[in-house]
Amino acid sequence: MTSSFFTILLAYSSSFIKTCQAQNFHYYLLRVQWGPSVCSSAHCRISPQTEFTLHGLWPQNGTGSQPLDCKPQDKFSLVNVQNLQTDLIYYWPDLYTTTPRSNHRFWAHEWAEHGSCSGLDQYTFSNDALAVFRRIDFLAVLQLAHINPGGQYSPQTIVNAFSGYMGLDPPMLYCKRNSMGNQMNELRSLFERLSSMGCPKHLLDMQYRMHPKISCFPNLKFYQEKVLDAPNVKSQSYEKHYLPAWEVSKQKISIGIISPYATQVAAIQEKFGKI
């Protein structure tokens, strides 16, 4: 597959499917697109930026269906997203014309067809869509897996790059055929429903992996010191043990590193593989 790049659907299964029935959907589907590929199979009036941009954040049901046009009377207004317009223009542009009027039409379409079914107001939906999109540096994830624009890669290679990144579920790829072959056009992802919808959050308050000297930082900065250290990480056997000293000039040593994340493994190999 020739990949000048694509649209991205990444997958986070929703933890709120059973606990929140207030809305008529189960999860969000994030759609991200690669401008050069989109514009190679469609007419764009300007040269697209060589970055991923947001296509939309779509409420979806577990069956694959989606609610649409839930509030036809709630018309999109730029006044409601005035403080977001700079980010919307950069991260969520209409690739086909990219004028103020066309951008407005594009955002209005995404709100009317999808955002109106989110249970959020226009500002919150737009702001949350931007926040979810910016969680991941999509191009960096691909380049870390040695996938670069213009190269030829199998769909599974691309899927694996995201599957290994911070535990993401496999994304869905959408490709279009043109004179250059099959080009990846879109990548799609299921993101868990946002807590701003009013659904309850359930904090797991015990961690079993990090030594307390390591867990103290995220616990303090991100979890308001609500996460407890399990007995196993506080035991003496969990203390760090240094390797015995050796003279590098006289002795070789092999060190194994275990990581659950494929992209982390790739980064370690890139940094230290030749040492």
First to last CA, the chain: 34
Q: What is d(CA 226, CA 207) in angstroms, rounded to the nearest whole number? A: 11
pLDDT of residue 14: 35
pLDDT classification of 194: cutoffs 50, 70, 90:
very low
Q: What is d(CA 129, CA 125) in angstroms, rounded to the nearest whole number? A: 6
Mean pLDDT on 4-8 = 43
pLDDT of residue 40: 74
Please tell me whether residues 121 and 217 are part of one structural domain.
Answer: no
Residues 6+ apart with CB under 8 A from 218: 227
Residue that is last in its domain, among 197, 226, 250: 197
Please tell me whether residues 120 and 238 are part of one structural domain.
Answer: no
Q: Name the most confidently modeled range: 21-30, 133-142, 159-168, 265-274.
A: 133-142
Report the CATH number at residue 8: 3.90.730.10
pLDDT classification of 110: cutoffs 50, 70, 90:
very high
- DSSP letter at 99 equals S
Q: What is d(CA 84, CA 2) in angstroms, rounded to the nearest whole number? A: 35
* Number of domains the chain is built from: 2
Please tell me whether residues 8 and 89 are part of one structural domain.
Answer: yes
Please tell me whether residues 102 and 218 are part of one structural domain.
Answer: no
Q: Nearest 5°: phi and psi at 150?
A: 90, -15
pLDDT of residue 81: 96
Please tell me whether residues 212 and 110 are part of one structural domain.
Answer: no
Residue 2 pLDDT > 70, yes or no?
no
Among the residue ranges 138-152, 161-175, 195-209, the one predicted with the least confidence is: 195-209
Please tell me whether residues 119 and 236 are part of one structural domain.
Answer: no
Provide the domain limits for residue 215: 206-272
Please tell me whether residues 47 and 173 are part of one structural domain.
Answer: yes
Nearest to 52 by CA among 90, 10, 87, 86: 90
Q: Which residue has the tokens 């977001």?
A: 84
Q: What is d(CA 91, CA 89) in angstroms, rounded to the nearest whole number? A: 6
- For the chain, what is the mean pLDDT? 75
Residue that is last in its domain, among 153, 170, 197: 197
Please tell me whether residues 96 and 62 are part of one structural domain.
Answer: yes
Please tell me whether residues 136 and 262 are part of one structural domain.
Answer: no
Residue that is last in its domain, among 161, 178, 197: 197
Question: pTM score, two decimals?
Answer: 0.62
The DSSP annotation for 157-194 comes to: HHHHHHHTSTTPEEEEEEEEEETTEEEEEEEEEEEPPP
Please tell me whether residues 250 and 150 are part of one structural domain.
Answer: no
Q: What is d(CA 202, CA 125) in angstroms, rounded to the nearest whole number? A: 22
- DSSP letter at 37 equals H
pLDDT of residue 20: 38
Please tell me whether residues 185 and 229 are part of one structural domain.
Answer: no
